Structure 1
Amino acid sequence: MIMRAVGEGLLAGLAGTAAMTAVEKLEQRLTGRPDSYVPARTLERVAGMAERESAPLNLAMHVGQGAALGVLHKAVYAFATGLAADALAARAGLGPGQRHEWRTLGREGG
């Protein structure tokens, strides 16, 4: 189950990164704004590398951040919804859907 969540988060992060990058490149063409090398510079500083304007390193950092954040989002979402499901499953009595069924006309209640 955890591998499924990681895979889904990875794909979502990559898809989001691709969409945002495509829109950013369109905006840059329309406005004439140059590329930003902040992601590459950040990676270079963290890794202790010499700073330079490297498009491949910039793209790698950009895509890597998007993928990592997609996995993180999916993991947090899975954990939070798992806690809510566990709490609802552990309670005694009728759940919200069952209470609604009992009050709604035309439904067969227990």
Structure 2
Amino acid sequence: VALTAAILGGGLAAGAHAFKSGSRVIINTSPEPFTNWTASIAEDIAVIGGLWAALYYPWLFLVLMIVFIGLMIWLLPKIWGGIKKIFGYIGRLFKHGEGDESSQNSKPVDS
């Protein structure tokens, strides 16, 4: 029982970390300043609300945790695709800037 609980807890923690860090990567690409602090406040409220529900309404907490896990399973591939798109764009920016453009477009000189 303890091993099963440890595996489930570790899997849930890893999934939550991937969800949070992946969403932060996408949020940080936004040029406006409001999404960062809104996401931070929402995370704080979710933690406090989750602890409150776990202590006083465990069945509600269980239902909300199942909903969160389902949402995480549905959103993680979408977040991963967004992260790949961002890193691909950054890679193309650096690849485009490689080398001297004048040497790439010039024709060899006959001697």
The TM-score with structure 1 as length reference comes to: 0.34
Structure 1 or 2: more helix by fraction: 2
The TM-score with structure 2 as length reference comes to: 0.34
